[in-house]
Amino acid sequence: MQKQSVLILCTGNSARSQMAEGLLRDMAGDRFDVESAGTVKSFVRPQAIAAMAEIGVDISGHRSKCLDEFIETPFDYVITVCDNANESCPIFPGPAKRLHWPFEDPAAAVGSDEEILAVFRRVRDEIRSRLERFIESGS
């Protein structure tokens, strides 16, 4: 069985899309080839790396990628995880099915380090729950 290709898009490719990429690869890497990108290039947030490490998923080697790297690549699914990426997402070649899953931006969280990390954990768990449904249903 050929793997389906998935691109997960966000604004800065620093938190939500990075966590979603790591989670989908960990949960169903045998069924999906997954990439993530942002409408602008940024950096992978240390809180995203920490929140993922807590559940045994290592994204410390990930890098922030710009959407331009994938604009000519056909995908089976293009999933936007923030409203900004959804609004500015271009048309991709091939059969790409567009899905929009808006999640709160944990990078915008304020408070103590522990309070901010708690937001990353919550968003991570929301993404994981949505990905479980995606894997089970095929979309």
User: Cα–Cα distances in Å, from 105 out to 15, 37, 112, 121, 127?
Assistant: 8, 15, 16, 12, 12
The rounded Cα 55 to chain-centroid distance in angstroms is: 16
Which residues are annotated as catalytic? 10, 82, 89
The pTM of this model reads: 0.93
Q: Based on the structure, what is the number of domains in the chain?
A: 1
* Domain ranges, residue 133: 4-137
- What is the tens place of the pLDDT at every residue in 88-117? 666 666 788 999 999 999 999 999 999 999
| CA–CA dist 58, 83 (Å, integer) | 26
User: Cα–Cα distances in Å, from 46 out to 38, 51, 126?
Assistant: 17, 9, 19
- What is the tens place of the pLDDT at every residue in 15-60? 999 999 999 999 999 999 999 999 898 999 999 999 999 999 999 9
Q: Could you tell me the CATH number of the domain that includes residue 102?
A: 3.40.50.2300
